Structure 1
């Protein structure tokens, strides 16, 4: 079956790695994001790699007016529609502490914007009875930590949303997979010291494709984060709030 992928946040480094692998499989790509110059470059690259189509289109998680045109473009395509969400922002926690108004943008980028888009897309996938949704969250969403609790709270909310969406759409033949990366070598993590078990965008993309093939519901990448976060979630709150992790 012909595959069309909507990629939200398609100019990000992780999204680009995922897009390249889909292009090599001959998928059609709708590259949605804010930086149109980057999206056009990525579209040209995707076509050169074998994508059946690659269309750049404006999308801003903070502007719901940009959502419907992306969905309309997808609905014009034949075959199966899929969506991968790479949208998110993570300013330093101390900057948000100094300017609480920044919180709104982080939550819109990392949770409410993508969730609203998926809520609009969901009925169309239900009607078709097929498709996959990949929602990229973070291990930071598994438990609030002093160093990035606003970002973690947004990603935790998104993971809970995806869990409910999975329950809804799974009954209609649509697969929803939550991806929880640890630190990834991207612009978002540049300048951060002592990040454990760093992985690469290519490795994350490979893990996502393997997870889709296996029908995974929740995917930690690197895999070592699953036992680590299982332990961290089990730490009693009176102990955890005294820790600096």
Structure 2
């Protein structure tokens, strides 16, 4: 008797060359998913895809070009995909420089567009296609920085707050349409983006730890996760500080 093999699920990773994206792509590939890695520079994305195929024998990894700032390309990009993926991971983002953003509108614009405008417009198009199909998973990597505006990174934080609100709205809209929306708030992660920072060990995750948490949350259809549980308490305290006192703090 011939038993048909189960069809492999597929994941599209947007911003697929970051440390978090690579770790998550590896985790899903190890679990038997096909993975498509997108990147602004196609040769770099192809190199990452080739490396991933070597690390996971038998995996099916492809690479495509996508610039999160080129919003006009989003619909044609989605139309060009051979199949609509089962899940999309939004892993693109730009921390930027707060001091620079305060004085240079071009830099502030770049941070806001990279973390909010481009990601939300792309996920909005993907959401409608998932809704029409009646299934799909949207995974958005937001940030604890969006839980409350702080002087040290409020331009980045404001953009991530907008992303979190957008994901919440998608979740509310699509809950009855068979589409799962997951918001991920990693906190500190040891990556190239945080290299050189003095990070507290108890609040700092490794990329692989984050990737495993994302996969588990997708399997359990969780709504919002803080990768290190301590972050939930930390941010609850920060959100609870009265505004009069908050203005006097340097956070």
TM-score range, shorter chain: over 0.9
1:169 lines up with 2:174 in the alignment: yes
Q: Secondary structure at the match of 2:238?
A: helix
Unaligned runs of 5+ in 2: 1-6
Output the CA distance in 2 between the equivalents of 1:162 and 1:100: 26
Does 47-56 or 134-143 show the bigger shift?
47-56
Task: Determine if contact 1:43/1:56 at 8 Å carries over to the other structure.
Answer: yes
Deviations 1:88-121 (A, max 9, x none): 1011211112312211111111111011001111
1:209 lines up with 2:215 in the alignment: yes
1:223 lines up with 2:229 in the alignment: yes
Q: Secondary structure at the match of 1:135?
A: strand
2:27 corresponds in structure 1 to 21
1:138 corresponds in structure 2 to 143
TM norm structure 1 = 0.93
1:1-245 paired onto structure 2 within 5 Å: 1-48=7-54, 49-50=56-57, 52-74=59-81, 76-77=82-83, 81-195=86-200, 197-245=203-251
Does 8-17 or 91-100 show the bigger shift?
91-100
Output the CA distance in 2 between the equivalents of 1:118 and 1:51: 29
Output the CA distance in 1 between the equivalents of 2:143 and 2:161: 8
Output the CA distance in 1 between the equivalents of 2:229 and 2:136: 25
Residue-pair matches, total: 243
Output the CA distance in 2 between the equivalents of 1:51 and 1:161: 36
Output the CA distance in 1 between the equivalents of 2:77 and 2:30: 23
Does 127-136 or 186-195 show the bigger shift?
186-195
CA RMSD of aligned residues (A): 1.6
TM norm structure 2 = 0.91
Task: Determine if contact 2:34/2:59 at 8 Å carries over to the other structure.
Answer: yes
Task: Determine if contact 2:188/2:199 at 8 Å carries over to the other structure.
Answer: no
2:4 corresponds in structure 1 to none
Report deviation, 1:61: 1.2
Output the CA distance in 2 between the equivalents of 1:145 and 1:51: 46
Q: Which has the larger radius of gyration?
A: 2
Output the CA distance in 2 between the equivalents of 1:173 and 1:35: 33
